[in-house]
Amino acid sequence: MPERFREDLCEPDRKELAEGPAYRFELDRRQWISSIGAGLLVTAAGKVVFSPGGASAQVRPSQRLHLGEDGSITVLTGKVEFGQGSRTEILQAAAEELRVSPDVLRVMLADTAETPNDGSTAGSRTTPSTIPVVRRASAAARELLVRTAAEAWNLDASELRVEAGAVVRAGDRFSYADLARAQRPASTVDDSVPRGVPLREVRNWTVLGQTLPKVGAREIVTGAHRYPSDIVRPNMLYGAVLRPPSYGAQLESVELAPGRELGAVVVRDGEFVGCAAKTSYEARKALEAISETAKWRTMAHPPSEGLGAYLKRHAQPSAGGRRGARRRESGDVDSALAAAQTLEASYEIPYVQHAPLEPRAAVAEWDQDRLTVWTGTQRPFGVREQLAEAFRLGADRTRVVVPDTGGGFGGKHTGEVAVEAARLARAAGKPVSLRWTRAEEFAWAYFRPAAAFEARAGLSGEKILAWDFTAYNPGTAAIETPYAVPNVRTQYIPCDSPLREGSYRGIGATGNNFAREVFMDELAGAAGLDPLEFRLANLDDGRLSAVLRAAADRFGWSASKSLGRNRGSGIAAGFEKGSYIAICAQVRVAGGSVEVERLVSAFDCGAILNPGNLRAQIDGCVIQGLGAALSEEIRFAGGMLVNGSFARYPVPRFRGTPPMEAVLLNRPDIPPAGAGETPIVAVAPALANAVFAATGQRMRSLPLRARAA
């Protein structure tokens, strides 16, 4: 069975989130960071460490903050920046608690030799798990600054405050740079900062809660930013890898001499065959010469037509473990169904590709038995483990550096391109840059799982009495209904998938929520109620009700009922990753196409850290959701991808982006949740429901294919 991914890749440490880490301040000559310079390191559940300049070593996994003797302040985190704005919000969090201007801070992300392991950049976990840790570390450093100044001035620390990065008293100023310079390697501060170091309350935020422009935006728009595919090392070669002609094909034989005759370094390691040369053109030409000699054993492979039926035939209901089948039941579903008005329907979604603007890329460099790889991945420490295992290295001899990367959307969890580049670099004795082509990215990167769904419910008037929902293959994210139903049965059944599948933005929530929210509209029709009224009548979750009302109010839901022939409006909602979304959509169906005329979203993710970045997250999610709803679908036949290019796999373009509005429901009383995934889950069902309102056609599969009435 092709590899799958757990849906809890980035589950936080619940105990740490509840209690917060402790911070002990100790000076230790043996610890330092090579690329930052002299100063102090703030360590979560550990130490603040003296770091003399001019040396280099691996830092401890728990180090969080570096206070430089030159006045620089560097925040350390293992998270990555894929365009979602994590670098900017982490900077804001540190600036808020340190009481400094964001301009004086630097954020170092995703370098396994110099940053802590914060898990995957996935699951919308940066906001609820990493941001609080950064804030507490910064508050601990602020506390140490105050106490050290108090000792120097022989004052009570409670009389002092930090403003603009320093403690100020009667013309005297004690800054973080002074703190770094004041500590001596031979001394030790034995006090521990308690877990309850006060954080600034939301109502008093001056940096958080504000729109701060994206860090590095100028470099991105001017082309100065270096993505993983732009990394260049001295004497670097360029690589190319032999791929099978079809899914499941196995290499039987191949001649390597034709590639070597063209001057390329040629490597074969089991099924892996690759070339490295001075230019990418030369590497490709050598690979073409080799590929002409390759003999493959192919295997039968199903087509994409009839995929839903195929998945059901290859269901694995007895599969166990964390990735296996799951069944949850409350109440007496069968009895409730027998006594109620019942309705049932089936739904399907296809495989879709992540289609990031930057395909997979890596540069690998060996220094004797030490390996460094620059690559774009959402799991830098996970990729380090893959490299260490592949080459039998210790973690201390394997380093992964992740430059800010050109898109991931859940599609760059694995490190295959890093391993491939490292194999070529080891054979060549030189650094090697390997960049997957667009065709390789489409065909050989993993897909969002295809899925089928069966839904059945029982009604009594406006109330849902029973809910029976079975999902084949999408994953379990958002599988449970958020509606108040007394009798519920939910089943997840994994299937033997014909294609490689894995994480995607929202993971299984995109499919589970699509099926559920379209079915909710069908139930509303059976109950003779407006879709909004029906949802509200079956909710006891005030936050989900609030986003539904907010979206409907901004959209003008009541007035949207008289749009005319082949035009209609739809609504859908969802809860996932601690946040709530509702979307109203207006469409026009012309011929065989669906034109989206307007979209209004309402979103609640607790206290808002950066309103401008949040709006960008919502807009990005919605636009990606438009593609999966209207046009994106992986097609395959004979074991080969049929539409593996942007010309044949249409993603949303600027000209096709409709007018969009986002209503932000700020909840300062609730801890912030992530926003990178949840908005996407309501796009497809809102559009499907709008198509029904326009044409009377129920849309039970994606992408939406409707004809004018």
User: What amino acid is encoded at 334 in this protein?
Assistant: D
The separation between CA 589 and the C-alpha centre of its own chain, rounded to angstroms, equals: 33
> What pLDDT does 345 receive?
98
- Would the pLDDT of 22 be above 90? no
Mean per-residue pLDDT, 55-79:
76
> What pLDDT does 197 receive?
78
> What pLDDT does 432 receive?
98
> What pLDDT does 707 receive?
82
Q: What is the bridge-based pairing of β-strands 487-493 and 272-277?
A: unpaired
Mean per-residue pLDDT, 311-337:
94
Mean per-residue pLDDT, 345-352:
98
- Per residue in 136-162, pLDDT tens? 999 999 999 999 999 999 999 989 999
Q: Which residue has the higher pLDDT, 31 or 290?
A: 290
Torsions phi, psi for 143 (to 5 deg)? -65, -40
CB 348 within 8 A of CB 510: no
Distance, CA of 639 to CA of 468 (rounded, Å)? 35
CB 83 within 8 A of CB 72: no
- Would the pLDDT of 631 be above 70? yes
Q: Which two tokens stand for residue 195?
A: 């877990």
- Per residue in 361-376, pLDDT tens? 999 999 999 999 999 9
Helix axes 416-428, 380-391, angle to 10 degrees: 40
Terminus-to-terminus CA distance in the chain, angstroms? 43
Distance, CA of 605 to CA of 663 (rounded, Å)? 12
Q: Which two tokens stand for residue 566?
A: 């082949």
- In this structure, what DSSP letter does residue 31 have? -
> What pLDDT does 515 receive?
98
Mean per-residue pLDDT, 224-232:
96
CB 625 within 8 A of CB 585: no
Instruction: Average the pLDDT over each of 117-131, 176-190, 299-313, 676-690 and give the range with the smallest value.
Output: 176-190
> What pLDDT does 35 receive?
57
- Would the pLDDT of 97 be above 80? yes
pLDDT band (50, 70, 90) for residue 170: confident
pLDDT band (50, 70, 90) for residue 320: confident
Q: Which residue has the higher pLDDT, 323 or 378?
A: 378
> What pLDDT does 185 receive?
41
> What pLDDT does 525 receive?
97
Distance, CA of 358 to CA of 598 (rounded, Å)? 29
Mean per-residue pLDDT, 512-520:
98
- Would the pLDDT of 471 be above 70? yes
- Would the pLDDT of 24 be above 70? no
pLDDT band (50, 70, 90) for residue 438: very high
- Per residue in 472-505, pLDDT tens? 999 999 999 999 999 999 999 999 999 999 999 9
- Surface-to-core class of residue 648, CB atoms within 10 Å of its CB (0-12 exposed, 13-18 middle, 19+ buried): exposed
> What pLDDT does 44 receive?
64
Give the 3-state secondary structure of residue 671: coil
The full DSSP string for 535-596 is HHHT---HHHHHHHHHHHHHHTTGGGG---TTEEEEEEEEEETTEEEEEEEEEEEETTEEEE
- Would the pLDDT of 430 be above 60? yes
> What pLDDT does 39 receive?
75
CB 688 within 8 A of CB 706: no
- Would the pLDDT of 269 be above 60? yes
> What pLDDT does 9 receive?
34
pLDDT band (50, 70, 90) for residue 15: very low
Instruction: Average the pLDDT over each of 14-23, 75-84, 317-326, 522-531 and give the range with the smallest value.
Output: 14-23
> What pLDDT does 594 receive?
96
Distance, CA of 162 to CA of 395 (rounded, Å)? 39
The full DSSP string for 329-350 is EES-HHHHHHTSEEEEEEEEE-
Q: How many CB atoms lie within 10 A of CB 416?
A: 18
Q: How many CB atoms lie within 10 A of CB 15?
A: 9
> What pLDDT does 335 receive?
98
pLDDT band (50, 70, 90) for residue 26: very low
Give the 3-state secondary structure of residue 39: strand
User: What amino acid is encoded at 215 in this protein?
Assistant: V
Q: What is the bridge-based pairing of β-strands 105-109 and 73-77?
A: parallel
> What pLDDT does 63 receive?
79
> What pLDDT does 196 receive?
62
- Would the pLDDT of 624 be above 70? yes
Given its phi and psi angles, is residue 514 left (phi above 0), alpha (psi -120 to 50 degrees) or beta? alpha
- As a whole-number percent, the residues of the chain with pLDDT over 90 amount to 84
Give me the domains of the chain, ranges plus CATH numbers.
31-221 (3.30.365.10), 228-298+360-435 (3.30.365.10), 307-352+447-695 (3.30.365.10)
- Would the pLDDT of 62 be above 80? no
> What pLDDT does 195 receive?
54
Distance, CA of 509 to CA of 415 (rounded, Å)? 25
> What pLDDT does 43 receive?
74
- Would the pLDDT of 533 be above 60? yes
- Would the pLDDT of 46 be above 80? no
User: What amino acid is encoded at 549 in this protein?
Assistant: R
Return mean pLDDT, the chain. Answer: 90
- Would the pLDDT of 57 be above 50? no
CB 621 within 8 A of CB 679: yes
Distances (CA, A) of 235 to 20, 279, 430, 431, 433: 47, 11, 7, 7, 11
**Residue 248 belongs to what H/E stretch?**
none
> What pLDDT does 182 receive?
84
Q: Which residues contact 239 (CB under 8 A, 6 or more apart)?
A: 274, 275, 276, 283, 420, 421, 424, 432, 433, 434
Q: Which residue has the higher pLDDT, 42 or 691?
A: 691
> What pLDDT does 591 receive?
87
C-alpha torsion sign, points 371, 373, 379, 380? positive
Q: Which residues contact 346 (CB under 8 A, 6 or more apart)?
A: 308, 452, 453, 454, 455, 700
